[in-house]
Amino acid sequence: MAESPITPRQKDFAAWYQDVVLQGDMAEPAEIVKGCMVIRPNGYAVWEGLHRELDARFKATGHENVYFPLLIPESFLKKEAEHVEGFAPELAVVTIAGGKKLEEPYVIRPTSETIIGHFFARWVQSHRDLPLLYNQWANVIRWELRTRMFLRTTEFLWQEGHTAHSTHAEAQEEVLRMLDVYADVAENIMAMPVIRGVKTQTEKFAGALRSFSIEAMMQNGLALQAGTSHDLGQNFGKAFDVKFQSKEGQLEYVWQTSWGVSTRLIGGLIMSHSDDKGLVLPPKLAPKKAVIVPIARKDEERTAVLEAAHRIAADIGAKVDDREGQSPGAKFFHWERRGIPVVLELGPRDLASGNIVLKRRDTGTKEILPQEGIAAKVASTLDTMQIDMLAAAKERLKANTVLANSIEEVEDILRDVTAEKGGGKFVMAHLKDDAVCDARLKEFKATVRNIPLVDEYDGAGKCLITGETVDRRVVIAKSY
RNA sequence: CGGGGCGUGGCUCAGCUUGGUAGAGCGCCUGGUUCGGGUCCAGGAGGCCGGAGGUUCGAAUCCUCUCGCCCCGACCA
């Protein structure tokens, strides 16, 4: 990949995002496959990091991994009325296989509630079979009309949790438990603050009773739905006849949940932290934490510098960029745009003084430090960066969150906001969970992102549109 | 799926209006030189001009169709 300039955020945020993804070796458009992308090593390693962190938490909360088929009989999708209505426009369907037209077409899974419902029905007879706590790591296909790398692609990688419970209360607990897992990973691993909340009825998952989300704010002020957790009620239980006999001997439908996060998280990560110089990754997700760039003028210097660089690198677990024919300056730019958290410079001056230069990717600050104890210093710097990056992102979220007390005010704030121009805000306002309100927001392309679980503002107030009393302010924003 | 823009060495693009058999810069390779934020010099490799069809003596250039990418809009993790 040639190293071209990166469009500044201020000039065109969407162009900047694409430049960062490309120049950071994260991914590139698949080109020959519409709407799809190739995830490159630097990008896939970030996904592996998220996979590792999430999977550990799923296991810790009692879930087991499973795998269901990619292909789902078309009739399955139709069993849940809302579900089919929601997904029909974005399905890819296999109609010919083995050279013959299929009797019943298969859809390529857009999500797996239906096929899992079918098998749940076979596996559940008694309340003793419950709960079923499963998770699947998979790819899905949704025929999107407009794609952006990581944020929305035709095919994407995700995990989908699917659970079945004997009571609604237990299912509801599960829904919130997993939402908290997502919030934990977002904030403590990705350094991306999120707002946990309930989706409005118009925005909920097709087939759910209620959907919950974590919403993050990107640097352009747009909202990104970073994860969802759904209370499916008994909708799929009824559609797929998933029944169990209770302790009391009654036949009842199971209460199900589903929850997922996707490679979209990587897009959120990029738009949370990166700058005009390229990718910035939080240390906990950076595939490589530190690189040493040796600086040497003459051959005899080179030998000594490289020897010291490798010795220090082994101590830290860092990589030495000993490529020849590349100036140190070129190497600094190279690693900078790939988001390496820490770059260490080691040259003749440092050899003489016993020092080494440490540069932080997030703040760009350089420090001259003794080589002695540099491993511990790198480790503590990485810890500090992780904390500072979350703090900076929280600060930005706070600075761009405003209160509004009339619908005109909301509209004034958000009307001219676009992904390219930026200037987006989270507008906190009292609004009823009602289709009329959602429709009014749609006039200026904004949506209720969610109704926060925790009210950080002034409690109840009158809905700006219906005038009815609602118990807290909701998050209104433009979103990806 | 509608509107707009764009597909020419790896990348960014010129050439297209006024058809005559392909260029620049960057990157890449070789050698030398340099090295504390994109060194410099010399030599070199690399393109059936997105694809298919048509018009023509002749097409990157004109026409038709098609595929893909980017942006905007309606739909969505």
- CATH code, domain carrying A132: 3.30.930.10
Q: Who wins on pLDDT, A5 or A223?
A: A223
Residue A389 lies in a domain: no
Report which residue is nearest nucleotide B74 when distances run from CA to C1'.
Answer: A145
Residue A7 lies in a domain: no
User: What CATH number did the domain enclosing A452 receive?
Assistant: 3.30.110.30
User: Is there a single domain that holds both residue A176 and residue A267?
Assistant: yes
User: Is there a single domain that holds both residue A55 and residue A175?
Assistant: yes
User: Is there a single domain that holds both residue A105 and residue A248?
Assistant: yes
CA of A9 to C1' of B67 (A): 32
Residue A83 lies in a domain: yes
Give the pLDDT of residue A340. 95
- Among A218, A246, A273, identify where a domain stops: A273
Closest nucleotide to A111's CA, by C1' atom? B77
Residue A395 lies in a domain: no
User: Is there a single domain that holds both residue A115 and residue A259?
Assistant: yes
Give the pLDDT of residue A380. 98
User: Is there a single domain that holds both residue A142 and residue A255?
Assistant: yes
Average pLDDT score over residue span A61-68: 98
pLDDT of residue A419 exceeding 90: no
Residue A215 lies in a domain: yes
Confidence of residue A2 (pLDDT cuts 50, 70, 90): very low
User: Is there a single domain that holds both residue A236 and residue A260?
Assistant: yes
Confidence of residue A306 (pLDDT cuts 50, 70, 90): very high
Signed CA dihedral, A54, A58, A60, A61: sign only? positive
Confidence of residue A137 (pLDDT cuts 50, 70, 90): very high
Residue A278 lies in a domain: no
Closest nucleotide to A144's CA, by C1' atom? B76
User: Is there a single domain that holds both residue A349 and residue A296?
Assistant: yes
CA of A324 to C1' of B33 (A): 13
Structure tokens, A151: 């944020």
List C-alpha distances in Å: A255 to A67, A237, A290, A394.
Answer: 21, 7, 47, 36
CA of A147 to C1' of B55 (A): 38
Note down the domain range covering A181: 13-273
Closest nucleotide to A328's CA, by C1' atom? B35
φ, ψ of residue A147 in degrees (nearest 5) = -115, 150
Closest nucleotide to A295's CA, by C1' atom? B35
Confidence of residue A8 (pLDDT cuts 50, 70, 90): confident
What is the ipTM score, two decimals? 0.84
Instruction: Find, among A285, A292, A276, A414, the residue nearest to A358 by Cα.
Output: A292
Which of A85-89, A159-163, A409-413 is the most confident on average?
A159-163
pLDDT of residue A297 exceeding 70: yes
Give the pLDDT of residue A1. 35
Q: Who wins on pLDDT, A317 or A300?
A: A317
CA of A461 to C1' of B3 (A): 42
CA of A185 to C1' of B75 (A): 29
Residue A110 preceded by cis peptide, ω within 30 = no
- Among A350, A384, A418, identify where a domain stops: A384
List C-alpha distances in Å: A204 to A17, A181, A225, A412, A451.
Answer: 28, 20, 12, 26, 12
User: Is there a single domain that holds both residue A231 and residue A121?
Assistant: yes
Confidence of residue A3 (pLDDT cuts 50, 70, 90): low
Burial of A454: CB neighbours in 10 Å, binned 0-12, 13-18, 19+? exposed
pLDDT tens digit string along A28-41? 887 777 788 889 88
User: What CATH number did the domain enclosing A344 receive?
Assistant: 3.40.50.800
User: Is there a single domain that holds both residue A90 and residue A195?
Assistant: yes
Q: Who wins on pLDDT, A18 or A256?
A: A256
Instruction: Find, among A432, A433, A415, the residue nearest to A424 by Cα.
Output: A415
Average pLDDT score over residue span A222-242: 96
The letter for the amino acid at A124 is V
* Distance of alpha carbon A311 from alpha carbon A306, whole angstroms: 8
CA of A290 to C1' of B74 (A): 46
Closest nucleotide to A330's CA, by C1' atom? B38
CA of A328 to C1' of B34 (A): 11
Residue A30 lies in a domain: yes
Which of strand B's nucleotides are less than 7 A from any protein C-beta? 1, 10-12, 26-27, 29, 32-39, 67-77
- For A300, residues 6+ apart whose C-beta sits below 8 A from its C-beta are none
* Distance of alpha carbon A179 from alpha carbon A450, whole angstroms: 13
Closest nucleotide to A293's CA, by C1' atom? B36
User: Is there a single domain that holds both residue A131 and residue A255?
Assistant: yes
User: Is there a single domain that holds both residue A214 and residue A303?
Assistant: no
CA of A12 to C1' of B27 (A): 25
Give the pLDDT of residue A176. 98
- Among A319, A354, A384, identify where a domain stops: A384
Residue A32 lies in a domain: yes
pLDDT of residue A98 exceeding 90: no
In chain A, how many domains are there?
Answer: 3
Give the pLDDT of residue A4. 62
% pLDDT > 70, chain A: 99
User: Is there a single domain that holds both residue A365 and residue A443?
Assistant: no
Q: Who wins on pLDDT, A92 or A366?
A: A366
Mean pLDDT over each residue of chain A, to the nearest integer? 93
